[in-house]
Structure 1
Amino acid sequence: MIENDALVQLLAADGTRVAHPDYALELTGPELAGLYRDMVLVRRVDTEAIALQRQGELGLWTSLLGQEAAQIGAGRALRPHDMVFPSYREHGVAWCRGVDPVTLLEMWRGSGQGGWDAHQHNFATYTIVIGAQALHAVGYAMGVVRDGTAGTGDPGRDTAVLVFFGDGAMSQGDTNEAFAWAAAQHLPVVFFCQNNQWAISAPVSVQARVPLARRAEGFGFPGVRVDGNDVLASLAVTRSALEHARAGGGPMFIEAFTYRMNPHTTSDDSRRYRHDAELESWRQRDPIARLRRHLERETDVGAAFFADVEDEAQKLAVRVREGGRSLATVGAGAVFEHVFERPPADLVRQRDAFVDFVARGID
Structure 2
Amino acid sequence: METTLAPGGVAAHLLPSPRPVQLLDPDGSLAEQPTDAHHYELPSAERLLHVWRGMVIGRRLDVQSTALTKQGRLAVYPGSRGQEACQVGAVQAITERDWMFPTYRESVALFTRGVDPVEALTLLRGDAHCGYDPIAHKTAPQCTPLSTQLVHAAGAAHGEKRRGSDAVALAFIGDGATSEGDFHEALNFAAVFSAPVIFFVQNNKYAISVPLAKQSKAPALAYKGIGYGIRSEQIDGNDPAAVLAVMDAAVEHARGGNGPFLIEAHTYRMDAHTNADDASRYRTADEVSAWLAKDPLSRLQTYLTAGGHLDDAGVRDAEQEAEERAADLRDRMNAEPQVDPMSLFDHVFAEPTPQQQEQRAMVQAELHAESEEQA
- Which bracket does the TM-score occupy, shorter chain normalised? 0.7 to 0.9
Counterpart of 2:52 in structure 1 is 36
Contact 1:131 1:175 in 2 (8 A): yes
Q: Give the whole-Å Cα distance in 1 for the aligned partners of 2:233 and 2:336.
A: 41
Determine helix, strand or coil for the equivalent of 2:356.
Answer: coil
The answer to whether the aligner puts 1:176 opposite 2:192 as a matched pair is: no
Structure with higher Rg: it is: 2
Q: Give the whole-Å Cα distance in 2 for the aligned partners of 1:297 and 1:201.
A: 38
Counterpart of 1:16 in structure 2 is 29
- Which stretch shows the higher mean deviation, 95-104 or 204-213? 95-104
Counterpart of 1:267 in structure 2 is 276
The answer to whether the aligner puts 1:251 opposite 2:251 as a matched pair is: no
Q: Report the TM-score, using the length of structure 2 for normalisation.
A: 0.84
Q: Which amino acid aligns with 2:182?
A: D
Q: Give the whole-Å Cα distance in 2 for the aligned partners of 1:300 and 1:146.
A: 43
Q: Report the TM-score, using the length of structure 1 for normalisation.
A: 0.87
Pick one of 140, 156, 165 that aligns with 1:124.
140
The answer to whether the aligner puts 1:341 opposite 2:350 as a matched pair is: no
Counterpart of 1:188 in structure 2 is 196
Counterpart of 1:163 in structure 2 is 171
Contact 1:75 1:92 in 2 (8 A): no
Task: For residue 31 of structure 1, report the CA deviation from its aligned partner.
Answer: 3.0
Q: Give the whole-Å Cα distance in 2 for the aligned partners of 1:136 and 1:327.
A: 33
Matches within 5 A, 1:278-293: 278-293=287-302
Gaps of 5+ in 1: 150-157, 353-363
Determine helix, strand or coil for the equivalent of 1:255.
Answer: strand
Q: For residues 8-33 of structure 1, what are the alpha-carbon distances to aligned partners after superposition, in whole Å with 9 as ceiling and x for unaligned?
A: 111110001236562103313x4332
Q: Give the whole-Å Cα distance in 1 for the aligned partners of 2:222 and 2:117.
A: 31
Counterpart of 1:317 in structure 2 is 326
Matches within 5 A, 1:1-363: 6-18=19-31, 20=33, 22-28=39-45, 30-149=46-165, 158-210=166-218, 211-328=220-337, 330=339, 341=356
What is the percent sequence identity of the aligned residues?
A: 39
Counterpart of 1:155 in structure 2 is none
Determine helix, strand or coil for the equivalent of 2:171.
Answer: strand
Q: Which amino acid aligns with 2:185?
A: E
CA-based RMSD: 2.3
- Which stretch shows the higher mean deviation, 318-327 or 273-282? 318-327
Determine helix, strand or coil for the equivalent of 2:334.
Answer: helix
Q: For residues 155-174 of structure 1, what are the alpha-carbon distances to aligned partners after superposition, in whole Å with 9 as ceiling and x for unaligned?
A: xxx11111001001101011
Q: Give the whole-Å Cα distance in 1 for the aligned partners of 2:32 and 2:261.
A: 22
Task: For residue 148 of structure 1, report the CA deviation from its aligned partner.
Answer: 1.9
Q: Which amino acid aligns with 1:38?
A: G
Task: For residue 113 of structure 1, report the CA deviation from its aligned partner.
Answer: 3.6
Q: Residues 300 and 170 from structure 1, CA distance in 2 versus in 1: closer, same or farther, beyond 3 angstroms? A: closer
Contact 1:67 1:258 in 2 (8 A): yes
- Which stretch shows the higher mean deviation, 292-301 or 164-173? 292-301
Task: For residue 96 of structure 1, report the CA deviation from its aligned partner.
Answer: 2.5
Gaps of 5+ in 2: 1-16, 349-354, 368-375
Q: Residues 163 and 300 from structure 1, CA distance in 2 versus in 1: closer, same or farther, beyond 3 angstroms? A: closer
Q: Give the whole-Å Cα distance in 2 for the aligned partners of 1:271 and 1:102.
A: 30
Q: Give the whole-Å Cα distance in 1 for the aligned partners of 2:160 and 2:242.
A: 27
Counterpart of 1:153 in structure 2 is none
Q: Residues 19 and 335 from structure 1, CA distance in 2 versus in 1: closer, same or farther, beyond 3 angstroms? A: farther
Q: Which amino acid aligns with 2:19?
A: A
Contact 2:107 2:121 in 1 (8 A): no
Q: Give the whole-Å Cα distance in 1 for the aligned partners of 2:18 and 2:24.
A: 12
Contact 1:86 1:126 in 2 (8 A): yes
